Amino acid sequence: DQQVKQNSPSLSVQEGRISILNCDYTNSMFDYFLWYKKYPAEGPTFLISISSIKDKNEDGRFTVFLNKSAKHLSLHIVPSQPGDSAVYFCAASGAGSSNTGKLIFGQGTTLQVKP
């Protein structure tokens, strides 16, 4: 049972436009959510996170929105740049008192930003 889902395997946007990556989850006990970016032949790199007590977190061009009632989060990249082309993973953690920092990952979305 996939607790974290990224239903769009790929996304293509034009440079300068907004990229919106989506993620859905099923476990309402998750305490926080993270986005990682991954380039080929490299490990995932932390991008941005959000606690479940917030609905928005912003860091430069990257903003994550959390809608707990819909169990949905999204990552907005504005403006998109060719260097943003990578695989983006949504991850969740902290399911209540049993939290040990384990991350549950989505399947990933490949973003291509065209010049």
Partner 1 sequence: NAGVTQTPKFRVLKTGQSMTLLCAQDMNHEYMYWYRQDPGMGLRLIHYSVGEGTTAKGEVPDGYNVSRLKKQNFLLGLESAAPSQTSVYFCASSYSIWWDQPQHFGDGTRLSIL
Task: Provide DSSP, 49-63.
Answer: EEETT-SEEEETTEE
For the CA atoms of 36, 37, 38, 39, what is the dihedral angle to 10 degrees?
A: -170
Are 60 and 80 spatial neighbours (Cβ–Cβ below 8 Å)?
Answer: no
**How many chain residues are in contact with partner 1, going by CB under 8 A?**
31
Q: Phi-psi bin for 101: left (phi > 0), alpha (psi -120 to 50), beta?
A: left
- Of the pair 19, 106, the CB lying nearest partner 1 is at 106
Among residues 21, 63, 64, 89, the one that binds partner 1 under rule CB under 8 A: 89
Please tell me the distance from the alpha carbon of residue 39 to that of residue 37, in angstroms, as a whole number.
7
Report the residue from 34, 64, 86, 113 that binds partner 1 according to the rule CB under 8 A.
34
Answer yes or no whether residue 1 interacts with partner 1 by CB under 8 A: no
Give the shortest CB-72-to-partner 1 separation in angstroms: 17
88 binds partner 1 (CB under 8 A): no
**What does the binding site for partner 1 look like in residue numbers (CB under 8 A)?**
4, 6, 9, 31-34, 36, 41-46, 49-51, 89, 91, 93-94, 99-108
